[in-house]
Each structure stands twice: as structure tokens, then as C-alpha cells.
A and B are shown apart, each in its own frame.
Chain A
Amino acid sequence: MNAVPVIVGYVLREALRRRVFAVVLLLTAAFLVLFWIANHYVHGELGRLQVPSDVPVDARTFASAFLSGLALFATMFLGVVLAIFLTLGAVRGDAERGLLQPLVVRPIGRSTFLFARFLGAISVTVPYVVAVDLIAVVITGLTMHWWPDRIATPALEVAGAVAVVTALSLLGSVFLSSTANGIAIFMLFGAGLVAGLLGTIGHAIGSHAIKHASTIASYLTPFEALYQDALRQLTESTSGLTGFLLQLGPFGGAYVHGWTVRVWALAFLCLVGAAALTAFRSRDL
């Protein structure tokens, strides 16, 4: 296991040198500036927001929570982009380029190598996601004078969602070339979003079958389930119709939640990790 910090350091330096960080930081800065502008203008419009008299919705809470949900999604998206770019060619891509062979013939073990790649990627993505989410919360808090019911847990859950995507990307990298893996993981991420949208449609039209399909799809893509749980926690203490409306994110609402989601996501992460290790160990390079 002495090789783990060596590989983690290698991954981090590679990311820095390939300017992945620079691109993501630039995108992040652009997002945060746009998010601040959005908060600023929405705050200015709060007084003019027309809320139906029969709907007991607090306009400030509604607007702020919706903006926070949007920020949560954007943070997860940027984290997923970073995770995919750090891992999409970890095995087959690097093997095809001849980068992998000199490393794995060293007496470090393939399991150690893959674990270190995972650790290297999440040591970047988890702090990144948590930091961006907290900055977004502060922007909304200072601009809109509203703070979510939970601050740390949603950030950690979205970071967990990104960790799940990281593991999936590593598993994909064992079988697929870099480009194919990148496309596959983005499509899988998109499928997760569809699960959330399905839930919204199911609730809107009152279809039990569609809601059921959405729940199954969310569990099959646990990063989406974690995102939904994080979304729900932004307004966990808000009840009634306001609470229901606030659980609507930009790509679907929060319909699966609780400890079951978190435990399943952890189990899923372990299963994906085990599958990736097994596949990598038996792969000819």
C-alpha cells in the first residue's frame, strides 16, 4: 500500500499539468459569477413576485430554495465533469497510449493501482464539490438573506454522488476506450436525470406506474438518488405545499430520500469498485 500515495500524487500532478483544473476552475468561476447575478436580480424582483392567495408559499423561501437547488445540480454537474475527465482513460485508454504498462509491471498490484486512481480522483472532486456548494450557499445567504435547513449534508451527498460516478467511470475505463467511456458515463448521468424528470411527471399526472419507474431508475443510478436526497434536505424543515414545491429541482424533484438511499449508494459504490477490481485483475494489457 506504500504505492497508494505515489499514484495519488501522480494523478493529481497529471491533472494539474493537463490543465484539467484550470478549465474546471474557469467554468466554476463563470458559474459562480452567473449564480451571484441570478441571485441579485431575483432578490430585486422578490417584492413583485405574485403568489396565488390560496397557495401558502413564502416567496423568498421559494425563490432562494429553487436557486439553491439549481446550484446543487450545477455543482454536481461540474463535479461529474471533473470526475469523468480524471478517470475516463485510467485503464484501457492509458494502456492504448502505452502509459499504463510501465506502471503496472511494478510490484504494486493492480488493485492498489485502481484504488489509488479512485482515491486520487475523489481527493480532488470531493473537496471541490463541497467547496463550490458552500460558496453557492453563502452567495444565496448573503444576497437573498435565506439559508437552507441543512448545509453540510447536501454538500456531502452531492460529493458522494460524484464519488459514485467516479467509480462508474473507473469501471467503464477497464472495458472502454477513453472517448467511448466518457460518452457512456455522461449518458448514464443523463439517464439519472431522466429518472428525476419521470418522478416529476408521475407526480404531476398522478401516475403510480411512472412514479414507481422513477423510483427504480433512481435506485439504479444512486448518484441521482443521492442528489434527490440532498435536494430534499435543503428545505427539510419546510412543510406543507411550500415544502412540496421546494423539492422541485431543475431536473426533477426529490422523491427518493432517507438512509436507505445513502446505504444503498455506499453498497453500490462498493459493488462497482469490486467489479472494477475483478475486471482489471483479469484484463490482458
Chain B
Amino acid sequence: MSAALAVRGLVKRYGSVTALGGVDLHVAEGELVGLLGPNGAGKSTLVKIACGLVRASAGDAEVCGNRAGSAEARRQIGYLAELFRFPGWMNADEVLSLHQRLASSGGGESERTELLELVALREARDRRVEEMSKGMQQRLGVAQALVGSPRLLLLDEPTSALDPVGRRTVRRMLEQLRERGVSVLLNSHLLSEIELVCDRVVILLGGKVVSAGTPAELARPRGIEVETNGGRRVVDGTRDDVPRIVSEAVQSGEQVYGVRVLTSTLEEVYLEAVGGETS
């Protein structure tokens, strides 16, 4: 699969502080990758290098085959910063129109309408940014990132200010984007969100990748929960052991009502990977 984002041996130092210490990362076309890690792990720095806001100290990053930061690479990306603001005097339509002109998007009013609908802001089209709630501004930020139909979407904490309904809106939007073949690198602290939508998860710690894989690959088996007339119990084993466990229970005269394969949640995988570290 060709890469929407290919990062090799990426290093970033701020003076004596190493923010990224040799990161390798690959986001395939149409893939949705979640980036996890404690504060200061280097997630935002990685995203900023990918969109050309920060220069790498060593290593290289490519966006759709172009050097990250080049005009051609920036033509392929949509970016939502963790801390961003739009001019308060602009309304939603004007913000999108400004970005359409900067991105040389010929989408016109139909693109703006579609994007505002996608983030459930159609009714707020003429509302000024300063009159919007934080959640609405964040959804407008997501719409702005989608101007010009980017091939790679870099979202840095896109749901931090959203309520549960807003988060679901963004989640559905991400699923729609995946169906359209858009690649997404999603940087978020919301593990449940990452678990729900991402194809792969990458966990950063101290500027290095400490764990990566699909949510299923990362999950550790935690046994088999068996519900019988004698109650519920957890026995050691994996999915392959289920027929044997059920057979043994039936042979011993128990009535089996349910069996569930237990695996660790992404939260447990994450905590195990970062060792409970935070900053």
C-alpha cells in the first residue's frame, strides 16, 4: 500500500530536550491511525513536522511522496492544530472561504455547504466565530481542515472541546472520510475514541514509538468468562480454548448460558506501554 505519510528516523531536538528520538511511522492511503502518548511524548511535534510547521533535526518525513513542508506536500494535507483560533469577526462561511482561496480550492459555495453539513454547522453558517461555543469552533476547525479535499488529514486533539454528541459527529465524519479513501492521523487523549475508529494505533513515549499495531493486535488475552447455572467465573485460556472449556463444563453437568473471550482494553494496553507516566 502506498503511503500518505512516511516518517523515517525522525528526530527533533529543542535545545537540550529531545522531543522525537528516531520515530518511524507509516500511514497508508485510506488508513486511520491513532497517535497516543502522555503529554510531552512528541505527538504534536510529529504532526507539526508532517505539516511543515516544525523542522526536523534529523530523519525525513514524506507526505504522499513529497517532502513534508514543501508546497506540494501542503497541498495534500488538511490540518487542525491543538491550539488554534480563527478571527472572531469572521463568520463560519468566511473562514471556509478564506481557506478555499488559500488552498486554491475551486469547491465554491457547494463545498462550504457540504463541509458545514458534515460538522453539523449548517445553521451557524453566518454566525461569527466570537459568538460560537468552543465546541462549535472546534467543529469549524475540522471543516477548515477538510477544505480542498486533502488526501491526508492531520488532527491534533480534534475533540478536546466537544461534548459527547459533538464527538460522535466527528467520529462519523472520520468513518465517512475513511470510506472516501482519506488517510487520517488522529492525535487524541480519548482512548475510547481511538479504539472505536482507528485501524491502527501508535503509542509514543519520550519521543519514541513504544507500541504499534491494530487494536486487536495490541490487546492481550485476559481469559474466558463462562456463565453457568453455578454463576460466572473466569478461566485461563484464549479463543481457541473455548470449545474445550464449554465441553468440560457440559460434561461436568453444568448448564452453560454464555461464554465471552476477555481481552485487555486499549486503556490497559496504553497504561502498560507508558508505565503510568504522565506530565
B48, A285: Cβ atoms closer than 8 Å? yes
- Which of B25-33, B75-83, B249-257 lines the interface with chain A? B75-83
**How many angstroms between the C-alpha atoms of A105 and B144 in the bound complex?**
12
**How many angstroms between the C-alpha atoms of A282 and B69 in the bound complex?**
12
* Contacting residue for A105 out of B51, B87, B141, CB 8 A: B51
A-B contact pairs, 13 of them (CB 8 A): A6-B102, A98-B84, A98-B85, A99-B85, A101-B79, A101-B81, A102-B84, A102-B141, A104-B53, A106-B102, A106-B103, A107-B103, A284-B54
Which A77-120 residues have C-beta < 8 A from chain B? 97-99, 101-109
* Contacting residue for B77 out of A2, A17, A105, A108, CB 8 A: A105
> How far does the Cβ of A112 sit from chain B's closest Cβ, in whole Å?
10
Report B-chain residues with C-beta under 8 Å of the C-beta of A2: 104
Report B-chain residues with C-beta under 8 Å of the C-beta of A104: 53
What are the 5 closest A-B residue pairs judged by CB atoms, nearest first?
Answer: A17-B89, A106-B102, A98-B85, A98-B84, A107-B74
**How many angstroms between the C-alpha atoms of A13 and B87 in the bound complex?**
10
A2, A17, A99, A105, most chain B CB atoms within 10 A: A105
Known contacts A105-B79, A284-B53; is A14 also within 8 Å of B101 by CB? no
B53, A282: Cβ atoms closer than 8 Å? no
> How far does the Cβ of B156 sit from chain A's closest Cβ, in whole Å?
10
Report A-chain residues with C-beta under 8 Å of the C-beta of B55: 282, 284
Answer whether residue A10 sits at the interface, using C-beta atoms and an 8 A cutoff.
Answer: yes
> How far does the Cβ of B37 sit from chain A's closest Cβ, in whole Å?
19
Report B-chain residues with C-beta under 8 Å of the C-beta of A285: 48, 53-54
Known contacts A3-B102, A6-B98; is A105 also within 8 Å of B85 by CB? no
Report B-chain residues with C-beta under 8 Å of the C-beta of A108: 102
Report A-chain residues with C-beta under 8 Å of the C-beta of B85: 97-99
**How many angstroms between the C-alpha atoms of A17 and B55 in the bound complex?**
34
**How many angstroms between the C-alpha atoms of A285 and B83 in the bound complex?**
12
Report B-chain residues with C-beta under 8 Å of the C-beta of A107: 71-72, 74-75, 102-104
Return the CB mask of B12-52 against A: 1 if under 8 Å, else 0.
00100000000000000000000000000000000010011
Of all chain A residues, the one with the shortest Cβ separation from B128 is A17
**How many angstroms between the C-alpha atoms of A107 and B63 in the bound complex?**
13
Report B-chain residues with C-beta under 8 Å of the C-beta of A106: 74, 99, 102-103
A98, B83: Cβ atoms closer than 8 Å? yes
Of all chain B residues, the one with the shortest Cβ separation from A14 is B87
Report A-chain residues with C-beta under 8 Å of the C-beta of B71: 107, 109
Tally inter-chain residue pairs, CB-CB below 8 A.
64
**How many angstroms between the C-alpha atoms of A109 and B55 in the bound complex?**
14
Known interface pairs A14-B87, A108-B102; 10 further A-B residue pairs with C-beta atoms within 8 A, sorted by A's residue number: A2-B104, A13-B89, A98-B84, A99-B86, A101-B79, A105-B77, A106-B74, A107-B103, A285-B48, A285-B53
Q: Number of contacting residues on B, CB 8 A?
A: 29
Of all chain B residues, the one with the shortest Cβ separation from A17 is B89
> How far does the Cβ of B212 sit from chain A's closest Cβ, in whole Å?
26
Report B-chain residues with C-beta under 8 Å of the C-beta of A109: 71
A10, A107, A284, most chain B CB atoms within 10 A: A107
Report B-chain residues with C-beta under 8 Å of the C-beta of A98: 81, 83-85
Which A143-176 residues have C-beta < 8 A from chain B? none
B102, A103: Cβ atoms closer than 8 Å? yes
Known contacts A2-B104, A98-B81, A99-B86; is A10 also within 8 Å of B53 by CB? no
> How far does the Cβ of B54 sit from chain A's closest Cβ, in whole Å?
4
> How far does the Cβ of A20 sit from chain B's closest Cβ, in whole Å?
12
A105, B89: Cβ atoms closer than 8 Å? no
**How many angstroms between the C-alpha atoms of A155 and B51 in the bound complex?**
44
**How many angstroms between the C-alpha atoms of A14 and B85 in the bound complex?**
14
**How many angstroms between the C-alpha atoms of A104 and B102 in the bound complex?**
9
> How far does the Cβ of B40 sit from chain A's closest Cβ, in whole Å?
16
**How many angstroms between the C-alpha atoms of A284 and B77 in the bound complex?**
18
B75, A101: Cβ atoms closer than 8 Å? no
> How far does the Cβ of A278 sit from chain B's closest Cβ, in whole Å?
13
**How many angstroms between the C-alpha atoms of A18 and B88 in the bound complex?**
10
Of all chain B residues, the one with the shortest Cβ separation from A94 is B85
Return the CB mask of A15-51 against B: 1 if under 8 Å, else 0.
0011000000000000000000000000000000000
> How far does the Cβ of B242 sit from chain A's closest Cβ, in whole Å?
50
Report B-chain residues with C-beta under 8 Å of the C-beta of A18: 89
* Contacting residue for A17 out of B79, B87, B102, B141, CB 8 A: B87
Which B147-196 residues have C-beta < 8 A from chain A? none
Report A-chain residues with C-beta under 8 Å of the C-beta of B54: 284-285
**How many angstroms between the C-alpha atoms of A99 and B83 in the bound complex?**
9
A3, B101: Cβ atoms closer than 8 Å? yes
A14, B89: Cβ atoms closer than 8 Å? yes
Known contacts A2-B104, A17-B87, A285-B48; is A105 also within 8 Å of B53 by CB? yes
**How many angstroms between the C-alpha atoms of A282 and B55 in the bound complex?**
8
Of all chain A residues, the one with the shortest Cβ separation from B55 is A284
Report A-chain residues with C-beta under 8 Å of the C-beta of B144: 102
**How many angstroms between the C-alpha atoms of A19 and B75 in the bound complex?**
34
* Contacting residue for B99 out of A13, A102, A282, CB 8 A: A102
Report A-chain residues with C-beta under 8 Å of the C-beta of B14: 284
**How many angstroms between the C-alpha atoms of A285 and B69 in the bound complex?**
12
**How many angstroms between the C-alpha atoms of A103 and B90 in the bound complex?**
14
> How far does the Cβ of B89 sit from chain A's closest Cβ, in whole Å?
4
